[in-house]
């Protein structure tokens, strides 16, 4: 072999090694060949096996509606599984209707989120007259007594005190009208588009001709979804789950004993709340919640009856027993 051919052969080999090095560097830098993953034991001509695919996750099981909901007497009803957001029952639930003292769910929530719960408030002299004028329920607050906002929340929610609603509204916003503005803003912010308030207690106001003033309404759906949100607040959940509340005498106020008007506690032991309501226009209403087997349901019945105070509790029990009895099936 001549010297020239030998030099040409060496030059060709060096060029080939340089080209291979450039290709390998490009592959490594672009991630085609990750560093440290070269299989030095692979048999030439054989493909490296692919990694074992991850198993397909099994969807969680949830309460699943099978068939129709049981018949009830209420004009509107809604049942919500708050663990999943699944709607279990919807009977005329988007229709705006009078909702009476279930209004106080919003009243309590706005107070809890906006006020200093340790603030002391004195009951003004006109409060008993307001309740009498509108034929409202009351916590028997005594003018001149000074109570904390925290205590007044129990007066609002357990005996459904319309007197407590006005005292709280004035304390938080300066006037009842200003407080109602806060309630309506809260409703819009939470997309409760079938809800509007004209007072903080749910009483029917009448015009000079004795006709109910319009503008105070909600829907079964809005009330249930508002309540599901409210129950995420520990204080709200504690108050609406309290059967009775005793406030001992002090130099600032007399002794008070308030009992929860929600008889669903007695009819259905899994009950955890929430609020009753009644006016002639709204009939007997109830927003309710219950927990069983680690499931949480919230529901509403509006105008269960205009004569039988207990029908709303029977309607709620019927819906809860049906809802908790639904099968647990995978959620697809």
Active site residues: 101, 104, 160
The answer to whether 166 and 200 are in contact (CB under 8 A) is yes
Strand-pair category, 283-292 with 295-302: antiparallel
Alpha helices in the chain (DSSP H): 3-29, 104-114, 127-133, 149-157, 162-173, 176-189, 220-230, 234-240, 264-267, 311-324
CB within 8 A of 266, min separation 6: which ones? none
The neighbour count for residue 67, using CB atoms within 10 Å, is 7
DSSP secondary structure code for residue 306 in this structure: S
CB within 8 A of 277, min separation 6: which ones? 99, 100, 101, 102, 103, 160, 202, 284, 285, 286, 287
Output the CA–CA distances (angstroms, integers) from residue 193 to 226, 232, 299, 319, in the order listed: 11, 21, 18, 25
The answer to whether 323 and 81 are in contact (CB under 8 A) is yes
């Amino acid at each position: 072999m001549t010297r020239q051919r030998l030099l040409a052969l060496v030059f060709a080999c060096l060029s080939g090694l340089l080209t291979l090095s450039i290709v390998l560097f490009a592959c490594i830098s672009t991630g085609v060949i990750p560093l440290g993953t070269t299989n030095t034991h692979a048999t030439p001509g054989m493909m490296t096996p692919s990694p074992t695919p991850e198993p397909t996750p099994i969807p969680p099981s949830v309460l699943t509606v099978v068939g129709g909901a049981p018949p009830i007497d209420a004009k509107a009803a809604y049942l919500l599984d708050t663990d999943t957001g699944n709607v279990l029952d919807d009977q005329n639930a988007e229709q705006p209707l009078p909702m009476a003292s279930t209004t106080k769910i919003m009243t309590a929530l706005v107070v809890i989120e906006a006020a200093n719960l340790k603030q002391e408030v004195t009951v003004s002299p006109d409060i008993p007259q307001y309740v009498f004028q509108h034929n409202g329920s009351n916590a028997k607050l005594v003018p001149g007594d000074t109570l904390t906002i925290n205590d007044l929340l129990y007066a609002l929610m357990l005996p459904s005190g319309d007197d407590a609603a006005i005292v709280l509204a004035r304390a938080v916003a300066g006037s009842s009208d200003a407080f109602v503005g806060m309630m309506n803003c809260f409703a819009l912010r939470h997309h409760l588009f079938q809800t509007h308030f004209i007072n903080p207690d749910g009483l029917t106001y009448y015009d000079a001709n004795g006709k109910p003033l319009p503008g105070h309404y909600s829907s079964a759906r809005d009330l249930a979804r508002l309540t599901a949100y409210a129950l995420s607040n520990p204080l709200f959940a504690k108050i609406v789950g309290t059967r009775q509340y005793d406030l001992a005498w002090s130099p600032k106020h007399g002794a008070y004993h308030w009992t929860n008007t929600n008889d669903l506690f007695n009819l259905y032991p899994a009950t955890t709340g929430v609020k009753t309501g009644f006016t002639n226009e709204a009939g007997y209403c109830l927003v309710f919640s219950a927990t069983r087997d680690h499931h949480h349901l919230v529901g509403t019945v509006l105008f269960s009856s205009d004569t039988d105070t207990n029908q709303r509790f029977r309607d709620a029990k019927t819906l809860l027993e049906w809802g908790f009895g639904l099968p647990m099936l995978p959620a697809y």
